């Protein structure tokens, strides 16, 4: 099945480069290009892509504001946003995660890493760069979100999680991939994915990134991640 991608960046050269790169893959297709945040919102509603690759700094409506609007729209629940920017700082990561972005990468990433990131977020999982580690998640959870940002889902369903679902959720929040969790708990990767999905459903989490945030918000995990300095990883 082809993953449909919308590119949002005010630099035509970058959009053109990304389009050629993405369209060269049999499983990926660029369906539209946006030059600013307002354009990204309009075209996302029109084309309903699987993934929006979103720049942060654009004229007019910026990429983070556009991400908040897209992720808050119930009609776009199946669209994932991948933030790709040269401005990878704590404030941007925090706001992107609050907004519901499924991935956050710096533009320094390799072409292969970008293509893999699109596939990862399209699958409903999350991918964070080294700058968007749990240390940053911990920091932004300690700071009240701006009034205009959509709130993260509350988690009354935390009491409904089974012991195994809690265990898997904690390991996911510790930055471990599904394969690593499966190895630690002597489970199959498919079983781990099932536990992750059930936990997301019970807690109303949009994707794995929000699941990790909710783990911190509910005190299930504290401290720095084991892989805080490591490269971006796919949660398979």
127/210 same-domain check: no
Beta-sheet pairing, 80-85 with 103-106: parallel
Whole-angstrom Cα distance, residue 39 to residue 164?
Answer: 43
Of 112, 141, 170, which marks where a domain is finished?
Answer: 141
9/90 same-domain check: yes
In a domain, 230, yes or no: no
CATH number, position 200? 1.10.10.10
108/38 same-domain check: yes
* The total number of residues written for the chain in this structure: 236
CATH number, position 61? 3.40.50.2300
- Structural domain that includes position 167: 156-217
111/167 same-domain check: no
On the CB side of 113, CA atoms within 13 Å amount to 16
123/88 same-domain check: yes
In a domain, 151, yes or no: no
Of 141, 166, 201, which marks where a domain is finished?
Answer: 141
pLDDT digits (tens, 9 = 90+) for 130-188: 444 444 555 555 555 555 545 544 456 788 889 999 999 888 877 677 888 899 999 99
pLDDT digits (tens, 9 = 90+) for 16-73: 999 999 999 999 999 999 999 999 999 999 999 999 999 988 989 999 999 999 999 9
| Nearest residue to 79 (alpha-carbon basis) of 163, 174, 17, 3 | 3
Q: Supply the pTM of this predicted model.
A: 0.66
For the chain, how many structural domains are there in total? 2
* More reliable by pLDDT, 110 or 28: 28
114/211 same-domain check: no
162/51 same-domain check: no
88/128 same-domain check: yes
103/136 same-domain check: yes
Of 118, 141, 164, which marks where a domain is finished?
Answer: 141
In a domain, 228, yes or no: no
């Amino acid at each position: 099945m082809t993953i449909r991608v919308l590119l949002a960046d005010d630099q035509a050269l970058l959009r053109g480069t990304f389009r050629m790169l993405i369209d060269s893959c049999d499983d990926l297709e660029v369906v539209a290009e946006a030059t600013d945040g307002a354009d990204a919102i309009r075209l996302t509603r029109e084309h309903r892509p699987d993934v929006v690759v979103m720049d942060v700094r654009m004229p007019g409506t910026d990429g983070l504001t556009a991400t908040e609007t897209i992720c808050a729209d119930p009609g776009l629940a199946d669209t994932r946003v991948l933030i790709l920017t040269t401005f990878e700082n704590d404030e941007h990561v925090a706001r992107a995660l609050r907004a519901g972005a499924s991935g956050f990468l710096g533009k320094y990433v390799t072409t292969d890493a970008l293509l893999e990131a699109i596939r990862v977020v399209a699958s409903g999982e999350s991918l964070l760069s080294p700058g968007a580690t749990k240390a940053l998640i911990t920091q932004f959870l300690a700071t009240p979100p701006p009034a205009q940002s959509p709130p993260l889902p509350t988690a009354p369903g935390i009491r409904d999680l089974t012991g195994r679902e809690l265990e898997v959720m904690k390991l996911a929040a510790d930055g471990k991939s599904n394969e690593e969790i499966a190895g630690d708990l002597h489970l199959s990767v498919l079983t781990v994915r099932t536990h992750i999905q059930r936990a997301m459903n019970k807690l109303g989490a949009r994707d794995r990134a929000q699941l990790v945030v909710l783990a911190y918000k509910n005190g299930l995990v504290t401290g720095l991640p084991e892989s805080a300095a490591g490269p971006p990883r796919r949660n398979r």
